[in-house]
């Protein structure tokens, strides 16, 4: 068995933690990723980081509210699922 990892990373035009958590989890489910866990942290006075642990690897998000944008990075061992997630995010957010 050959070990391969695929990576998708982008900046998107929101830093709203509620929107990010809801939409990105929905995109993971639509892409048929297996979610094993989720952890997040709201920083004071601002900023948010969250990570989904997936059977296929992980998704991490870091917000930059001072610029109203977020960094999203998905690592996966299943290219087809990653491509589907990428299509969801590109269809719903502006990539900046």
Whether 57 is catalytic is yes
- Show me where the domains of the chain are located: 6-92
Q: Strand runs (DSSP E) across the chain, as ranges?
A: 6-12, 35-42, 48-54, 57-64, 69-76
The H-or-E segment that residue 79 falls in is helix 79-92
Whether 10 is catalytic is no
Length of the chain: 96
Which of 17, 31, 57, 70 is the catalytic position? Answer: 57
pLDDT at position 68: 96
Confirm if 52 and 58 have CB atoms less than 8 A apart: yes
- At the top level of CATH, the class of 6-92 is alpha beta
pLDDT tens, the chain, 96 aa long: 688 999 999 999 999 999 999 999 999 999 999 999 999 999 999 999 999 999 999 999 999 999 999 999 999 999 999 999 999 999 999 999
Predicted TM-score of the model (pTM): 0.94
Whether 31 is catalytic is no
């Amino acid at each position: 068995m050959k070990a391969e990892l695929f990576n998708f990373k982008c900046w998107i035009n929101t830093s709203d933690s509620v929107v990010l958590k809801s939409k990105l989890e929905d995109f993971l489910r639509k892409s048929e990723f297996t979610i094993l866990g989720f952890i997040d942290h709201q920083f004071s006075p601002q900023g948010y980081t969250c990570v989904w642990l997936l059977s296929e690897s992980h998704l991490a998000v870091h917000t930059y509210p001072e610029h109203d944008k977020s960094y999203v990075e998905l690592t996966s061992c299943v290219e087809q699922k990653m491509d589907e997630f990428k299509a969801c995010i590109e269809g719903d957010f502006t990539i900046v």
